Amino acid sequence: MKQPIYINAIASVSPLGHDSETTWASYKNNSHYFSLQYDNLVAKLDTNSLKEIKKITQSNYKYKALDNTVLYAILSSRNAIKQAGWQANANFGVNIGSSRGATSLFEKYYEDFLNKNETNTLSSPTTTLGNISSWVAQDLKTKGPNISHSITCSTALHALLNGVAWIQSGMCSNFLVGGSEAPLTPFTIAQMQALKIYAKTGATYPCQALNTDKTSNSMILGEGAAMACLAAEYSKLSLAKLIGVGYGTETITHNASLSKNAECFQLSMSMALNIINPNDIDIIVTHTPGTVKGDIAELNAIKHVFKDKIPALTNNKWKIGHSLGTSGMLSVEFAILMLKKQEFINVPYLTTQAPKQIKTILINAVGFGGNAVSVIVTTING
């Protein structure tokens, strides 16, 4: 990176809540947030968050036609720019991505088409991927650039990379970046089950993310959105500094595979570290979605990069599942909360020694296609 980028706000809506204090309180307990839907475990938004989403749909008749991916993005984006003190006339950029996009609405319209041989007037504009960022930009009344994209489960962190590039190019001084995902549909769950990676019910902690001793896959789908406000300049509201970004892509042998030692993660972490001493990393928030091979591959990559001094490892998917394109930014929020509160949140079924200090944290995300992103955040005075 040419110079640090400041994270002036971060906001989310997830099974943990829709404000930072509620989210932190949810992280502090050892409970997971899974429940049954369509006879499968999922991590749904909490009741209070759903009430906030309902308020949005009631505030504007146009919003009633929008998919949950857009509504979740609107709520978390409103909260983020309010926290950052941004006004519409700042003309900040918007880059929000999604792995699945408006899957619920698309499935509904397609079912209607099969039954009636015709579809709703708004079926096309409300299911395009660009619909997420464009509606957020409309809602926030910014005239800055707005971008949507999908690069599967590393989407939100790719949005962060894009925001950094725009800011460092001098084309934009502020960027709202993140991801939004509402994948809790029967078809999407069936797709994950077809890959043989979905968790079964019955265990105390059904998603065994980061547990290298597990013998079966244990991924569970979650939903939510998370947004960060990136800025070129320090503000008294700044929460953390972004001091390293990296990406990597490896050649894959299967559509959903990683190499045994996750070469893409080795590339992304090494690029993010750049001139940063690996020994300065206190914590890694891993991607580890709870699959047997995927979790081990990422840990092998971490061992390759960090050698004998492995930072403290933690993860939030055991608690809220895998929210696909949103997951990376929820991990960034998790990291920033640990920086702010100066408290390490452990995975309850693992024994991990808490770091002596919490100053610098690396966050990983990877998606189908062998693409990985790693970012490093540190305290403002770091």
- pLDDT tens digits for 30-47? 999 999 998 999 999 999
Distance CA 155, CA 335 (A): 18
**What is the pLDDT, as a whole number, of residue 255?**
66
In this predicted structure, the answer to whether residue 256 has a pLDDT above a threshold of 70 is: no
Indicate the domain borders of the chain. Answer: 5-231, 241-378
At 5, which amino acid appears? Answer: I
Question: 349 and 315 in contact (C-beta within 8 Å)?
Answer: no
User: Is residue 252's pLDDT more than 90?
Assistant: no
Position 91 scores a pLDDT of: 87
H/E stretch holding 180 = strand 174-181
In this prediction, residues 327-352 reach a mean pLDDT of 98
Q: Look at domain 5-231 and name its CATH class.
A: alpha beta
Q: How far is CA 357 from CA 24, 27, 283, 311, in A?
A: 19, 19, 9, 11
- CATH number assigned to the domain covering 241-378: 3.40.47.10
Two tokens, residue 81: 């720019």
Q: What is the mean pLDDT of residues 112-116?
A: 96
pLDDT tops 70 at residue 331: yes
5-231 matches 241-378 in fold:
yes
Mean pLDDT of all residues belonging to the chain: 96
Q: pLDDT grade, residue 211 (50/70/90)?
A: very high
Gyration radius from the chain CA atoms:
19
Once rounded to an integer, what is the mean pLDDT over residues 110-138? 95
| Residue 276 in this model has a pLDDT that exceeds 70 | yes
**Contact of 29 with 355, CB cutoff 8 Å:** no
Give the model confidence (pLDDT) of 142-170 as tens digits.
999 999 999 999 999 999 999 999 999 99
